[in-house]
Structure 1
């Protein structure tokens, strides 16, 4: 280089060895290799929808609590935050900070706290939007569906009325403070599922918001989704053309996982059994027959369980159809008409994964999800690199199927 040559411009983003990643590492640095995939597979030419990602709503918890309707409950939360400093980001919540195993010892510790620097703010909606934009741009994502993290645990809250109030407050905060700041951010808002009437109120309050593209049942293990009390909820969603999603979550204290002594064990099983239970009740009780226009999505429980459930439910159905009088076809046929998100996609055996995707008719039912910023997130290149899918199937999975399901235009 001569004296007249310009100095080389340093790269804007570094690629980091894993051991350097901390809770303060910039999202763009963690995701630097996603740009390599984008270039390799030409992903800038794809329409990419991330159907499952997260933000850390507890960073904005004091702001969210101001949206509580009840002045008594709001005052209780304020007393908790004032008198017990550790409750500043947890008041009224059932999140157990001493048991956040998912936030440690994994591949990426980033989800424990998104503590990276952001311009001019350390909390609130502006910061959330900045962090989401960084991830979207790094992964070449056109639309990102954003959910909370600990708020998904409210289905296990010991006080149902508090769970309902917290979900309503969060939904109002997110719709008022986050969604209007970035049109590429969308969400499926959580339903206060312990209260069917409140579910209906939630749908009617937010269904016309341009950033709300559906509604969720979140980590709820104790309510039978086939109960008659929920039928008006499903009818309302069907009439409005809005999908319902079942977002699984971990739990190490239910009757099955309480026997497990490792988080790995509970994580492997509880995400799956949560949705397996709902799927069984959903299909065997004929919900797809009663609401044929209701689009149903199974989120963050992987894919390996689906062929098992198809075979198992079909086997039982053929021997005991009297227990499923509303069904007009085997359970697996209904399951192939539902939708699934890709993360975490169990890819340890090419042949098994190929069989799984064939069983669920993946080109027409599977939708890409990153689960960012969780420790087991997947970038779009994971779908683009599947050797047994053609370009049409990859385009559908990465975004075109979601375009149809969510009417994204």
Structure 2
């Protein structure tokens, strides 16, 4: 195999969580909600209140951010400790604040989403050309969600719509169609990021109910993502929206192989129940889904890794994600076993560039990654 050289090539990181402090978002919210927050608090459920999610000082991977006294303090921290350090040509901000997706007051959730998006546009996207953003939407109400997509969907720095994995209904159901219509109008992928499973108004994180520990919770995330994937395929979403792309983020990746094998077998036996599904599920996966790498499942016998990468069409469907700055952050230097040169290039740059319409790499610098 032709393996990657030691050139320090730039990468696209598809999962960076910037800081959007609630007190900073308040100035972007209507007066009525600022007053409600001052009187009653934020009224949003919290995932962190149920599970101990590792790390120091609340799940940060690196040293805690210390303010430099400027408005761009956290952005400067992000530049120094991630974008510059790892030669990130483009970094995609996947936000935070997913608790809005488990809230009961949908109008308040919509206001928080808009404030979150405006904060990111002004404080990050307008000040750092390497960053791109995601539209956080109140998915509980697809009409309000579509309105938010239409409001900022043509902003040049915005490249996807994002929701959490936790949900009241599987994402293939027609309830969500207004969201996909808006995604298609603006040529934006629909991204599902793990979070909020079993929190607030969302269904339990497993088919058996709630779990006790974070390690169980973490393990359960893939099964919810499986349900969303099957729902998209068998509800016929891609027949109605043939240009829609779906990104599955931070739930791992190698589990996809046995899932699409199983779905293909069941579809052959039961296809009379879903006549609108025109192709094998594996074909819908290859054409419409993209998946991010973090956290990577590594087999005990490494000779099994590359066949599994082939089974999930990694060379065309997998994109690198660091999950910076969380405690289980994946460095682009150490996240993967040694990869063939073409596969490395596709995973670390080209797949994301093609999906999100990003420019080709500007330059390469000689030297080893250190």
**TM superposition score normalised by structure 2:** 0.86
**What is the match of residue 286 of structure 1?**
236
1:145 is the counterpart of 2:92? yes
Label 1:274 to 1:163 Cα distance change in 2 as closer, same or farther (>3 A). farther
Tell me by how many angstroms 1:131 deviates. 2.3
Q: How far apart in 2 are the matches of 1:391 and 1:96?
A: 39
Label 1:351 to 1:289 Cα distance change in 2 as closer, same or farther (>3 A). farther
**What is the match of residue 168 of structure 1?**
114
Tell me by how many angstroms 1:401 deviates. 1.2
The SS at the match of 2:84 is helix
Match for residue 198 of structure 1 among 144, 151, 156: 144
1:158-183 Cα deviation digits (max 9, x unpaired): 33333222112211221122211111
1:238 is the counterpart of 2:188? no
Q: How far apart in 2 are the matches of 1:323 and 1:333?
A: 18
**What is the match of residue 185 of structure 1?**
131
Instruction: Give the structure with the higher percent helix.
Output: 1
1:55 is the counterpart of 2:2? no
Match for residue 326 of structure 1 among 268, 276, 282: 276
Question: Unaligned regions of 5+ residues in structure 1, if any?
Answer: 1-39, 81-86
Tell me by how many angstroms 1:250 deviates. 5.4
Q: How far apart in 2 are the matches of 1:252 and 1:228?
A: 22
Q: Which runs of 4+ in 1 moved over 6 A?
A: none
Q: How far apart in 2 are the matches of 1:259 and 1:196?
A: 27
The SS at the match of 1:158 is coil
The SS at the match of 2:357 is coil
Question: Unaligned regions of 5+ residues in structure 2, if any?
Answer: 360-370
**What is the match of residue 345 of structure 1?**
296
**What is the match of residue 99 of structure 1?**
50
Label 1:303 to 1:360 Cα distance change in 2 as closer, same or farther (>3 A). same
Label 1:160 to 1:43 Cα distance change in 2 as closer, same or farther (>3 A). farther
Tell me by how many angstroms 1:110 deviates. 5.4
1:373 is the counterpart of 2:297? no
**What is the match of residue 75 of structure 1?**
35
The SS at the match of 1:94 is coil
Decide which structure has the larger Cα Rg and report it.
1
Match for residue 194 of structure 2 among 248, 251, 256: 248
Tell me by how many angstroms 1:380 deviates. 1.1
Would you say the 8 A contact 2:162–2:192 is kept in 1?
yes
Q: How far apart in 2 are the matches of 1:197 and 1:328?
A: 29
1:349-375 Cα deviation digits (max 9, x unpaired): 323432321112111111100011112
Would you say the 8 A contact 2:184–2:244 is kept in 1?
yes
Structure with more relative contact order (C-alpha pairs < 8 Å, separation 6 or more): 2
**What is the match of residue 391 of structure 1?**
341
The SS at the match of 1:186 is strand
Q: How far apart in 2 are the matches of 1:217 and 1:317?
A: 28
**What is the match of residue 8 of structure 1?**
none
Tell me by how many angstroms 1:116 deviates. 2.8
Label 1:331 to 1:96 Cα distance change in 2 as closer, same or farther (>3 A). closer
Q: How far apart in 2 are the matches of 1:100 and 1:130?
A: 30
1:102-130 Cα deviation digits (max 9, x unpaired): 1447xx96528973324224xxx512311
Q: How many residues align?
A: 348
Would you say the 8 A contact 1:248–1:274 is kept in 2?
no
